[in-house]
Structure 1
Amino acid sequence: MPRAINLRQIEIFKALIEHGTVSRAAEALYISQPAASKLLMQLEKDNGLKLFDRYKGRLFPTAQGLRLHEEVARIFVGMRQVESAIGLIKREDQGRLVIGAIPALSGAYMQRTTMSFLKRNPNVYCMVKSPSSQWIPEYVLTRVLDIGIVTARAANPYIVTEPLFEHPLLCIMPMDHPLAALKVIRPENLHDVPFVAFNTETYTGQKVASMFESYNVRTHVVLTADSNSTLCHFVAAGLGVSLVHPLFIAGVEKQVVVRPFEPTIPLDFLVCFARDARNVPLIADFANEAKATATSFIDDLAKSWA
């Protein structure tokens, strides 16, 4: 009767297939080469399989060996999934927060907010998602998200919305742009000036397009973008100017010139969460951090045009 398979035999077998030689496989498992060779011989002998051909002192996997490796690899993937599940369960016991932020805020601003939050809550496991603004309230309601950052109040009695940060759009431009000589940018300053625009399907794009129409600005749009990161980097690269919310500038603030724009085009953000959310203290803490980070960033940014 064959002996039961030894886990160490399987480990050295897998290591040999993946590392190519017995010596490298032994090093990977921190055992001696003779011990590794003995384990491999026992694996073949105990199970009646010819797993390797031997040629000039080296082992080469046979068809049976390769077939067994496929099964072994599948088992080890399952073991890693179990380990991941165990880690997730542990983190959930410590605290878990799933955050949804519109794509425009999912970059440097969200990174700074979350890092500050985690410094005070090192045992909390955070997951950050970036769905479209229209989906965030629904995901909050169905518990896919614990907290969301959106641009419009959710018309649902089961969802709480609170102001996060309201500020007019600012004008950003390349570092050497002629408009940088002005303290304030006005609509007439943008006549025929190369402009990098948000897609008019976005909330910001609609507001800017409406302003241009109201003031009869002859627009010279050289590029349209859906992503604020894409837009800001094109401005920084010298393609043109744009109008953006200050939080969109996070991450490129040292690569562009920032100026106030008049008349003001207000754009506000809100945090939302379920009225009967399961982890209200964490949600409240994150919301406070989001507000503090936004306020601190705009205060620092304002120094550049003071």
Structure 2
Amino acid sequence: MKITTAQLDAFSAVLDLGTATAAASVLNTSQPSITRAIKQLEDATGLLLFNRTKGRLVPTADARDLALVVEDNHQGMLRIQEAAKGIRRRRIGHLRIACLPAFAQGFIARALADFLPLNPQVSVFVRPLASTDIRDAVSKGLIDIGIAAYEVEAPGVRSTRFTECAEVAVLPQAHPLAERRELTPADLATQRIVRLAGGDPYRTRLDTLLSGCAGQAPALDGPVIEVETSAAACALAAEGVGIAVINPLTALDFVSSGLVLRRLTHTLPFITALVRPAQTGKAPLADAFATTLATRRDADLATAKGLCAAGA
């Protein structure tokens, strides 16, 4: 005999409540229906599940063991129901976004502020990830659209250039170098620099640039200030700890903290890629958000350029 969901529901209710009458009330059915379902479950399993004692159904040891499996089944049903809700949400609108941590706090938030008023029914999920994790998530179809550092080439991933903009120096407004319109490598070499982690290619590139300033590089020879993210570098710069050299999109997030942006005479390109699954069919929401991202990028870069030019 086949075990049914109704039998398992009756079993769980009787296990919790102790009587068929109470179980029937909770399940909105009749007491005979509960009794019949329990008998059918016992026949199907070949187990005695309850002893009838003074009007109560007392679970046997076999019933206790079976209850563990039944609970797993109920949890599985709940997961199926949640998955169905997720599928229904995707029909309404569902956008899964991944980005570098440097973009999660400011740039993506500004882009979503542009996008969501035009798409108020869309559910949005933002995940800050490392570039390799973004690539892997996109290739597996777990992310609809992402922004990763550098160039991205991987099976299952469609990649296009998103930014190729010059990095900028960020420093407190009261810093002596803030009076200049642009800073040279020699200017930076005399200062304490808040640098990214040692394995970061942008950190390596900056160190190489500074090492060319022979005899003038306290930035390399003095105590090290090393952080994992551009946002952390900006936060330290805002406190006057040192100067950071980062991408202009993240730098904008900290202008309100009293930081100023200055051009570098030696261009250090900041390159990112817009990545999407290669095989997705039509994806109108991701297409629309890609357009929003490009518009927001252009506006932010123009703002950053204007702030860099504001130096004396």
Quick check: TM above 0.5? yes
Q: What are structure 2's unaligned runs of at least 5 residues?
A: 1-18, 28-54, 59-71
Partner Cα distance (1:159, 1:79) in 2: 34
Query: 1:76-225 maps to which residues of 2 (within 5 A)?
Result: 85=83, 87-156=85-154, 158-216=156-214, 218=217, 219=219, 220=222, 222-225=224-227
| TM, length-normalised to structure 2 | 0.70
CA gap of 1:175–1:122, structure 2 versus 1, over 3 A, is same
| TM, length-normalised to structure 1 | 0.71
Following TM superposition, by how much is the alpha carbon of 1:175 offset from its aligned partner in structure 2, in angstroms?
Answer: 2.0
Partner Cα distance (1:3, 1:205) in 2: 71
Q: What are structure 1's unaligned runs of at least 5 residues?
A: 9-45, 50-73
Quick check: 224-233 or 200-209, which moved more? 200-209
Structure whose CA Rg is larger: 2
Indicate conservation of the 8 Å contact 1:197/1:221, yes or no. no
| Pair 1:284 & 2:284 matched | no
Indicate conservation of the 8 Å contact 1:258/1:305, yes or no. yes
**Structure 1: which amino acid aligns with 2:260?**
V
Following TM superposition, by how much is the alpha carbon of 1:279 offset from its aligned partner in structure 2, in angstroms?
Answer: 4.4
Over residues 35-74 of structure 1, what are the superposed CA-to-partner deviations in whole Å (9 max), with x where a residue is unaligned?
Answer: xxxxxxxxxxx9799xxxxxxxxxxxxxxxxxxxxxxxx9
> Residue 3 of structure 1 corresponds to which residue in structure 2?
21
* Count of aligned pairs: 248
Query: 1:26-65 maps to which residues of 2 (within 5 A)?
Result: none
Partner Cα distance (1:160, 1:80) in 2: 35
> Residue 302 of structure 2 corresponds to which residue in structure 1?
299
Quick check: 208-217 or 234-243, which moved more? 208-217
CA gap of 1:131–1:305, structure 2 versus 1, over 3 A, is closer
Over residues 200-242 of structure 1, what are the superposed CA-to-partner deviations in whole Å (9 max), with x where a residue is unaligned?
Answer: 2123212212221234450245411001221111101111111
CA gap of 1:221–1:109, structure 2 versus 1, over 3 A, is farther
Identity in percent: 21
Which of 267, 271, 275 aligns to 2:274? It is 271
> Residue 242 of structure 1 corresponds to which residue in structure 2?
244
Partner Cα distance (1:156, 1:48) in 2: 61
Measured on the aligned residues, the alpha-carbon RMSD in Å equals 3.0
Indicate conservation of the 8 Å contact 1:200/1:209, yes or no. no
Over residues 82-114 of structure 1, what are the superposed CA-to-partner deviations in whole Å (9 max), with x where a residue is unaligned?
Answer: 875554233111122211111221211111112
Following TM superposition, by how much is the alpha carbon of 1:265 offset from its aligned partner in structure 2, in angstroms?
Answer: 0.6
